[in-house]
Amino acid sequence: MESALQERETPLQEARILGVRVHRVSMMEALQRIEQLIQRREPSLVITADANAVLIALEDAEFHRLMETAPLVTADGAGLLWAGRQLKQPFPERVSGVDLVEQLTRLSHEKGYRLYFLGAAPGVAERAAQNLLIKYPNAQIVGVQHGYFSATDEPAIVAQIAAVRPDVLLVGMGMPRQEKWAWAHRNALDTPVMIGVGGSFDVYAGVVKRAPRWMQRTGCEWLWRLVQDPRKIKKVRNLPRFAWQVWRARKQESPQA
């Protein structure tokens, strides 16, 4: 018990990207922390942050606060990994929402954790669950709900989630709405871990295809996503602004560089 408590308190290494906090963790460390949070059973938020998340935090005080206080903020995306290297606070690897969904389904298959999928268009989270269950048949996906509900339906949805007592609520409703929504309803949801996973259900449902491995490895996944969904141009347009700010921050830190 004591060793478990000590382990719980081990602080994670942090990077400051343009002043915004992101943990420098591997996928394995992230999963360990999530399991600790499940044991702790206090509502906790996990954020999978990309470059856009940092830009949002710089303009949105509420989201910035969530990034400052969340017990786990992972680096999701080539832009953030690049920034970590530039600012001499490298991340060990990318820990994306998409990969976390699969890894947590695997852990659920192995250890019985109860998962709830919330978000994406009607039918998509169901299909994602069905596809993941083919690979992890003993996973406990205890509920699914699409992410296009009205404010009137909200109390019933929150109650329905709480009633099935998930250990982990995966929320795919886009950033920063998914994080704000989960945190605002944390007491009624009474779920130990809430994770924003963006468009992950679309990937497992087969609605969008994940970029080929070589594109993920070379940091070009954003280009693949843009081709699949041109509405993502808004996010891609922000990348040069992010890169410019990181470059300036690097110059300020080491003027001779």
Select from 120, 141, 142, 161 the one that contacts ligand UDP (CB under 6 A): 120
CB of 109 to ligand UDP, least distance (A): 23
| Interface with ligand UDP (CB under 6 A), residue from 79, 147, 166, 192 | 147
Interface with ligand UDP (CB under 6 A), residue total 13
Residue nearest to ligand UDP (CB): 147
Q: Which residues contact 235 (CB under 8 A, 6 or more apart)?
A: 52, 222
Residue 143 contacts ligand UDP per CB under 6 A: no
Residue 161's H or E segment, with its range, is helix 154-163
Among 103, 174, 215, 250, binds ligand UDP (CB under 6 A): 174
One residue of 119, 143, 166, 192 binding ligand UDP per CB under 6 A: 119
CA angle 139, 145, 147 (to 5 degrees): 130
Say how far apart CA 136 and CA 32 lie, in whole Å. Answer: 19
Binding segment for ligand UDP among 32-40, 86-94, 161-169, 195-203 (CB under 6 A)? 195-203
Q: How far is CA 150 from the centre of its chain?
A: 23
Q: Which residue has the tokens 């929150």?
A: 158
Q: Residue 132 corresponds to which amino acid?
A: L
Structure tokens that stand for 22 in this block = 């992101």
Treating both helix axes as pointing N-terminal to C-terminal, what angle do 2-9 and 27-40 enclose, rounded to 10 degrees?
120
Query: In whole angstroms, how close is the CB of 170 to ligand UDP at the nearest point?
Result: 11
Under DSSP, is residue 127 helix (H, G, I), strand (E, B) or coil? helix
Q: Which is nearer to ligand UDP, 82 or 201 (CB)?
A: 201
- Contact with ligand UDP (CB under 6 A): which of 55, 173, 189, 246? 173
* 121 scored as a contact of ligand UDP (CB under 6 A): yes
CA distance 54 to 65: 12
Please report whether residue 175 would count as binding ligand UDP according to CB under 6 A.
Answer: yes
* Site residues, ligand UDP (CB under 6 A): 119-121, 147-148, 172-175, 198-199, 201-202
